[in-house]
Amino acid sequence: MVMLASSLLLQACSGGSSAPPTDLLPGSESFDLTRVNDATIDVIEGDATGVAIPLNITRESANGAPITLSARAANARGARTMDFNFSNNQITSTDEQVSLQVVVGIDALPIQAEQRAFIVSATDGQSTEEIQLSINLTPTSAPDVYLLAGQSNMVGFSGDGTKDASPGGPDEPHPRIKQLHVTFNDEQNFINEIQNTNINRSVLAPAIIQAEDPLHEPLNGAGTAKAGTFIGMGLSFAKAALQDTTAEIVLVPAAWSGSAFCENQDGPMGQWNANSTDIPSLGNTWLFDRAISRTNEALQQTGGVLRGILWHQGESDANDRCAPIYLANLERLAQQFRLRVAPDSRGGEFRRASSPIPFIVGTMSRGFDERGDLSVFSNDKQLIDDYHRQIPEQLPFVATSIHDDLVGEQWPCGNTTCIHFGAEALREMGNRYYQQLRSVMSDYR
């Protein structure tokens, strides 16, 4: 129910004492500001047309000073997204009806259905009258889009047979969680820069499917399921995010096992550099470019909103050539993702290096089992770990998800070695990534 406060006549004050009624002030005019009707005010977040609210301004005479109209949100949260426009904000007649257009833009975080208050003010310079109104705000239906980038632990190497997608199982698909339908990470698909940015080599039809682990694997030949029996962290992240959104979630898989900023003999032909560089040890921009093109495709296909970027990588840069320059490369990556993904319905304000698009980084595995012990990092790997923990101090809207405790019998390692987190750890990591995303955006709740 929309709440309409009674009109309040605010008397002019002087020297801390109450002034006489406004009709006794020399040159002042008595006037009233009222709504034309008491109909509920319904607004959809992100709807550019908004809602028109008719208002009446009446006074005894048109001989006084013009009445100026203005509107403001009742709190800081509303002030970020509410926009007001009057059909006429300077009233000189004795009786006039004006229209107030209220538009609410899409906020940095998904919202629930809520009421949002604002205040309409009228003043002739000596007296002021205000009314408080409320709108019923419906969240945007535009999907929440998240980019998944990095190397093997973002792909998910939990081990064959660790996926449990049975009804009620932890990896069961959810009808509101979708994904971009990407091709395999096959070198034959990405052997040069032109092929790497060719969306037809990167995305299959249908472009948007229900998300299912392994996210970086396409549907099998029958087009109904995936052959892989391992998982990553993306699906558990999305399930955690569902509680705070009414929209669908669309995941964009773009990670590649063994990938790095530096050229890596054991990794793919593409690297993660956000810009071309003359530094000999650094490679190309192919994986960054591919991630941009995939994210753009997801936004175009769904009309969605980029809500965050998840990054898990570092092992392949843990050497004396690459570790010292890792932090600078990672900062540049976060900033360039925000700048270069195509604008969504929120516009250019959300395509700046410091825009409130969360960039969440995860720490590397310290797991140990009979195959090896990674609990103590080498000097180069420790430097990268330090940088993962430092980057929130360097850039806004960046957080680090800590995974040092995901070791031992409770958290078995994944495929091949303990460099890979196992299924239980990856599910927990998805939850932690989401909690860090919410934490770093606390001012926007």
Strand (E) or helix (H) holding 438: helix 423-440
What CATH number does domain 8-138 carry, 3.20.20.80, 3.40.140.10, 3.40.50.150, 2.60.40.10? 2.60.40.10
Angle in degrees, CA 438, 440, 445, rounded to 5: 55
Residue bearing tokens 């632990």: 153
pLDDT of residue 25: 35
Q: Is 317 exposed, middle or buried (0-12, 13-18, 19+ CB in 10 A)?
A: buried
Integer Cα distance of 244 and 110 in angstroms? 7
DSSP-assigned letter for residue 21:
P
Integer Cα distance of 283 and 325 in angstroms? 13
Phi, psi of 359 (to 5 degrees): -120, 110
Integer Cα distance of 437 and 434 in angstroms? 5
Integer Cα distance of 89 and 69 in angstroms? 5
> CA Rg, the chain, in Å?
28
Strand (E) or helix (H) holding 326: helix 326-340
pLDDT tens digits, 26-65: 334 578 999 999 999 999 999 999 999 999 999 877 777 8
pLDDT of residue 224: 67
Where are the CATH 2.60.40.10 domain residues in the chain?
Answer: 8-138
Integer Cα distance of 329 and 323 in angstroms? 10
Where are the CATH 3.40.50.1110 domain residues in the chain?
Answer: 144-444
- Under-70 pLDDT residues of the chain: 1-29, 222-224
pLDDT of residue 186: 87
Encode 195-229: b = buried (16+ Cβ within 10 Å), e = exposed: ebbeeebbbbeebbbebbbbbbbbbeeeeeebebb
pLDDT tens digits, 197-212: 789 889 999 999 999 9
**Closest listed residue to residue 334, CA positions, set 284, 395, 393:** 395
Q: Which CATH class is domain 144-444?
A: alpha beta
Report CA 267 to chain centroid distance, whole Å. 30
Integer Cα distance of 412 and 390 in angstroms? 28
- DSSP line for 405-436: T--STTS-B-SSSTTSB-HHHHHHHHHHHHHH
pLDDT of residue 266: 84
The percent of the chain in helix, strand and coil, each rounded to the nearest 5, is 25, 25, 50
pLDDT of residue 223: 62
pLDDT of residue 6: 33
**Closest listed residue to residue 403, CA positions, set 372, 371, 432, 376:** 432
